[in-house]
Structure 1
Amino acid sequence: MRKAWLTGVDKDSGRSYEHRREWVESRLIELAGVFSIDIAAYAVMSNHLHVVLRIDIESANRWTDREAVEHWHQLFKGTEITQKFLKCEIIESHEINALKHSIALYRSRLSDISWFMRCLNEPIARMANKEDKCTGHFWEGRFKSQALLDEAAVLACMAYVELNPIRAKMANTPETSDHTSLKLRVKAALKGKQPEKLLPFIGNECLKQPKGIQFSLKDYLELVDETGRILRDDKRGFISASASKILTRLNISSDNWIHITSEFGKLFHGPVGTLQELTSYCEHLGKRRRHFAHCCDYLQTS
């Protein structure tokens, strides 16, 4: 039986595996530059990982055939035909259909969360097994995912993820939370920038703006900072008017916001969104019953 913390510190042996958190974070950032999937938030904890992703199928469809193959070859060798294609060698007529099939397959996989997680988990497992001088499963099981159906769900989940180290008492303040997207955002913000490999905040106006989160980064950082202080001090606390701009727009009460960002994982076990969005989601999937509808109340003013 294999017994060791995936990262963190093994309490029995005292051996530290903290360096593996850097492995996970580095691989995440690397994959963001390869896949047509954006990272909105992440937190690499001692024994698990949280990540908020946005699938960008439109971007993958805009890639040229060559770009799609180039992206895939950053991760895998591809086929002899795709290798010939990148080398600008002659593709025989009987090879064209196989080439087209490979390109379509790569384009699809590079906007697929399952493939994203596979490309994240497998290299980490190999590195850990090599370090531990053993073989076999490294991750406990397959990842779990939830659909975030609207802005409120996305922002609440992002804050929940980025405040994980605060709740776990691994950090005192959000900006000192190692191996989180929030620390990257704060570090870049101090220079008047945003991290290149994270989905950016683009303000309240999306006209002629690149893709991104349609809120002010400053407002979000203030909101998360005050939320983190409340969680860290274990007090009811309150969120100031300046920091609650996002909550006003989302029509979420401060009490509900604190409840969601501290217990998101317990409150929601399926798709997350307002009742209207959940209804549309279920209709799209042909589901007659709206499971988890009672949780929608948290995403509106009480």
Structure 2
Amino acid sequence: MPMPRNQQVCVEDTPYYHCVSRCVRRAYLCGEDTVTGTSYEHRRGWVENRLLFLAGVFSMDICAYAVMSNHLHVVLHINTEKAESWSSLEVVERWHKIHQGTHFTRQCTAGEKLPKSVMEFVEASVMVYRKRLADISWFMRELNEPIARKANIEDNCTGHFWEGRFKSQALLDEAALIACMAYVDLNPLRSNISNVPEESDFTSIKRRVGAAEMKTQPKTLFPFVGSPRKDMPSGLPFKLVDYLELVDITGRIIRKDKQGVIDVSCLSILQRLNVSSETWLCIAAYFEALTGRVVGHEQSIDCYCQSHQRHRKPSREQIKLLV
């Protein structure tokens, strides 16, 4: 029996999660159907635009994403502090960007003076909206449902477009986080969709490389802020240049279908994360296949199991990559 989503996602364990949604029909989400010759490439734009739009509505930060032919990957950071900092009015205004809300919440955003009893109802709605805007399940629902409706209309059919449940993995530590991000960013290379990461359309890596050429970082993505330190700003705990170099070299090795040692210039970030070069190559190529619901060093997973009173730990095959 699948584990309830509220037991899979716990911000106290980690704010980082890898989510995957897959299509249930043979028809492609994107790309070209080799049987019918129909191109669905334009749907990549649907997904990317919706994803980046929702990042500006929810208290979710996008660390990495890749829109593939019949599935999509996204690595999310749940920003609970941001959600709690919003005023009641801001919560309602954000919710109204994706739903109509109630008659009373619309009156509130219109600036109408409401009696105390009505304001109590509005505040109750605010509590619900605030919780939803920090919920991964709601984020994925608001991402997938509009895409499914548009695709069904275009395909002139009804029924499910996505699998019933999206897959989620808890990324317990920095090693798991960077490994998953690289895995997502390198998806198009492994699938022979592109030759180099910066040419991978509708991916976070292309957006980051494009911004880096302008000596900046994309505002729509969670920024890299450097190694962990005191008074660290909100962002990914790595240096952008280290990550881009790591992805570039890993992509070259994967693309050439070679086994070997990563260039010495990239070893510093792997050493800090206690990940060997050989292990890194395996992680970058087979992350999703060789990991379970939670990913991290063995110690991180042990702490997770103890805190959740889990008697059945992930298999050794699932955790040995990050030991």
Same fold per superposition (TM over 0.5) = yes
Instruction: Indicate whether 1:148 and 2:177 are aligned.
Output: no
Paired with 1:294 and 1:172, the residues of 2 have a C-alpha distance of: 31
In the TM superposition, residue 79 of structure 1 has moved relative to its aligned partner by: 0.5
After TM superposition, the score normalised by the length of structure 1 is: 0.95
2:302 pairs with 1:296: no
For 1:2 and 1:211, the matched residues in 2 are separated by 39
Aligned counterpart for 2:101 among listed residues 78, 91, 110:
78
Other structure's SS at 2:194 match = coil
Aligned to 1:262: 285
Q: Is the 8 A contact 1:41 1:182 kept in 2?
A: yes
Provide the residue aligned with 1:184 in structure 2.
Answer: 207
Q: Within 5 A, what are the aligned runs for 1:1-302?
A: 3-300=26-323
Q: Output the CA distance in 2 between the equivalents of 1:114 and 1:123.
A: 15
Instruction: State the alpha-carbon separation in 1 of the partners of residues 178 and 67 from structure 2.
Output: 18
SS of 1:146 mapped into structure 2: strand
Taking structure 2 as the reference length, what is the TM-score of the superposition? 0.89
Bigger fraction of residues in strand = 2
Change (3 A) 1:3 1:249: closer
Contact 2:260 2:278 in 1 (8 A): no
Report deviation, 1:45: 0.4
**Residue identity in the other structure for 1:172:** N
Kindly report the root-mean-square deviation, in angstroms, between the aligned alpha carbons of the 2 structures.
Answer: 1.5
Q: Are the counterparts in 2 of residues 148 and 154 from structure 1 also a CA contact under 8 Å?
A: yes
Measured in 2, the distance between the counterparts of 1:208 and 1:86 equals: 36
Name which structure has the greater RCO, CA cutoff 8 Å, separation 6+: 2
How far the C-alpha of 1:293 sits from its partner, in A, is 4.8
Instruction: Tell me which moved more, 144-153 or 273-282.
Output: 273-282
Q: Which residues of structure 1 form unaligned runs of 5+?
A: none
Instruction: Judge conservation of contact 2:292–2:318 (CA < 8 Å) in 1.
Output: no
In structure 2, the CA distance between the partners of 1:79 and 1:293, relative to structure 1 (3 Å rule), is farther
